[in-house]
Structure 1
Amino acid sequence: MMGMDDIARRGLVLFGCGHMGSAMLKGWLARGLAPQAITVIDHNPSDWLQAQEVRLNGALPEDPAAVVIAVKPQGMFDSLPAIARYGAAEGAGRSLVITVAAGIPLVAYERALGAETPLVRAMPNMPSSIGRGVTAIIGNAATDAAGLGMAEALLAAVGAVVRLEDESQMDAVTAVSGSGPAYVFHLIDTLAAAGEAEGLSRDLALQLALGTVAGAGELAQRADESPAELRAGVASPGGTTEAALRVLMDDEGGLGPVMKRAVAAAARRSRELADG
């Protein structure tokens, strides 16, 4: 893939190897990137990380192809002094810097590293931990097509990657796909609880809810039809599904209005966090 040859030759640095960092590292190794091409900086390395053959907490390379910041947002600025050596402000700026820290805009990194530093902001989501995530990316003005291609190749190791047209879209991405897994988990829980209220055991209701959501999601991804067309295919006129959909699709109290309010609340909070 684009940029991976450069990464194999020059190497990359991963700052932070928690849940997301570990998911990316597993994906890179599974795709054949040599462990010795990867330098990992993590102050509390897991047993799994220590068992890998990456360069762990060693000397930083002079000119890596990419630097990936995967620390928690509240700890990101503590990591910037070490990362600053790769920024244009220090006379470098050849390394692509990719951040998966939520809520921190590109301009904050430009102030710390220099506006000429190629930067990509990424928003992955929780299913990335099993390679089924979706990640949105946006680059700054200093990031060219090759840089975006390199970022896409690295992040594709944990799932699908989409490119945004403007960074202002990141708040909506956060609200839809970043926070979205929690909405689905709540749907599973409430669907199981509704089944239990109709006389099913909790275990059976949860098994049915889990299988239904997982199967329906997979079908929606594979099918040529839109979700609306698939929904119509389940709902026979006058049948049980139609009766349920009349409740779920109510213009005022149905799922649509509730979901719009929920996503709007998450997007609003994302903007508030970005503004500090």
Structure 2
Amino acid sequence: MSKGGLPASLVLVGAGKMGGAMLRGWLALGMDGKAVTIVDPYPSQDLTDLAAQHQISLNPALADIVVPEALVLSIKPQTLDAAAADIARLVGPQTLVLSIMAGKTIANIAARLPAASAIVRAMPNTPAAVGRGITGAAASPGVDAPRRAMAGALLSAIGAVEWLDREDWIDAVTAVSGSGPAYVFWLTECLAKAGEAAGLPADLAMRLARATVEGSGELMFRDQQTSASQLRVNVTSPGGTTAAALDVLMAPDGLEPLLRKAIAAAKRRAGDLSG
């Protein structure tokens, strides 16, 4: 294991948007590019340039790849079956297998990688691209303390990490934080459209909406000691404009029941994909 808990050797299978974000996070933390091997049949030009810059091995012959301390699976889940035989050659009894494939359970991965004894299944989200992601992670029983720390180091390179007591919580994590950025983006769109309907120019309404969402998120991030509900109260003067709007949003048929329904639908779909 290298400094900061990162592995001394790592193979990244699949380096698309999320895999690429993780790779950039590891390099930013000081991981030696020569310790990394990337297997990706369709590397982007950006990835090719990054690999050359950091002396990362890109798409060597599989027979030439030494079994690594960590194997990170960032491929599309529907491609796992076809790739499993080749991937299995990269796993030894001490290899940490870290999967960010949506819908693929630990049992599913273990069945395809027979030598894998330590598997971590994780669900990050797209703010990982700017180092502000949140990841829910569940570990198989074979993940000991050092490999759990290693997985934590790898995942924390793209943001915060929440360890889950149960793997089946990942469906709910997917519904809340995995898909959550899309809900926030849609809220921003709706806020801008509402501003436009209230008489603002469309471009101004969108700038106001984007800056409001960005600033509010930053305030919550910086003020961890104050709950979201208290932050809401702090900005709501009794009988004022915010209170008038919240009377609508917090009505029995308002935003909360709608979000509950949306999260339930996303969780159901996540369960279907896992099955």
TM bin, normalised by shorter chain, reads over 0.9
Aligned pair partner of 2:85 in 81, 84, 94? 81
CA drift of 1:115 comes to 7.4
Quote how far apart the aligned CAs of 1:39 are: 0.4
Q: Identity, % of aligned pairs?
A: 47
Residue in 2 that maps onto 1:137:
137
| 2:73 aligned residue | 69
Residue 125 of structure 1 is matched in structure 2 by 125
The alignment covers a number of residue pairs equal to: 268
**Residue in 1 that maps onto 2:23:** 25
The separation in 1 between residues aligned to 2:208 and 2:66, in whole angstroms, is 54
Secondary structure in structure 2 of the residue aligned to 1:122? strand
> TM-score when scaled to structure 1?
0.93
Name the CA distance, whole Å, in 2 between partners of 1:115 and 1:105: 16
Q: Report if the CA contact (8 A) 2:122-2:136 is conserved.
A: yes
Q: Equivalences for 1:1-276 in 2 at 5 Å?
A: 4=4, 7-8=7-8, 11-51=9-49, 52=51, 53-59=55-61, 60-87=64-91, 92-114=92-114, 117-223=117-223, 224-251=225-252, 253-275=253-275
Shift of 1:78: 2.2
What CA RMSD, in Å, does the superposition of the two structures yield over aligned residues? 1.6
Amino acid at match of 1:26: R
Question: How far is the alpha carbon of 1:28 from its aligned partner?
Answer: 1.0
Check the 8 A contact 2:77/2:101 in 1, yes or no: yes
CA separation of 1:79 and 1:185: change in aligned 2, threshold 3 A: same
Which whole-Å CA distance do the structure 1 matches of 2:3 and 2:94 have between them? 13
Amino acid at match of 2:83: S
Q: Per-residue CA shift, 1:108-131, capped at 9, x if unaligned? A: 011112376210001000111111
SS in 2 for 1:154: helix
CA contact (8 A) 1:138 1:164 kept: yes
Deviation of 1:145 (Å): 1.6
- Structure 1: stretches of 5+ with no match in the other structure: none
Q: Which runs of 5+ in 2 are unaligned?
A: none
Consecutive aligned runs of 4 or more in structure 1 exceeding 3 Å deviation: 1-6
Which residue identity is paired with 2:56? V
- 1:176-202 residue CA offsets vs partner (Å, 9 max, x unmatched): 000000000000000000000000000
Code of the residue aligned with 1:16 in structure 2: it is G
How much has 1:84 moved relative to structure 2?
0.9
Paired residue secondary structure (1:7):
coil
- Which residue identity is paired with 2:196? E
2:251 corresponds to which letter in structure 1? Answer: D
Give the Cα–Cα distance (whole angstroms) in 2 for the partners of residues 237 and 112 of structure 1: 59
Seen in structure 2, the aligned counterparts of structure 1 residues 135 and 156 have a Cα distance that, compared at 3 Å, is same
1:77 Cα offset (Å)? 2.2
For 1:50, give the aligned amino acid. T
TM-superposed deviation, 1:79 = 2.2
More displaced stretch, 73-82 vs 197-206? 73-82
Question: Contact 2:65–2:90 at 8 Å: present in 1 too?
Answer: no
Read off the aligned partner of 2:212 and give its amino acid letter. Answer: T
Contact 2:97 2:116 survives alignment (8 Å): no
2:138 and 2:43 mapped to 1: Cα distance? Answer: 29
| Equivalent position amino acid for 1:204 in 2 | L
* Structure 2 length-normalised TM: 0.93
- Measure how far apart 1:225 and its partner are: 1.2
Distance 1:115 1:138 in 2: 19
Q: Secondary structure at the match of 1:62?
A: coil
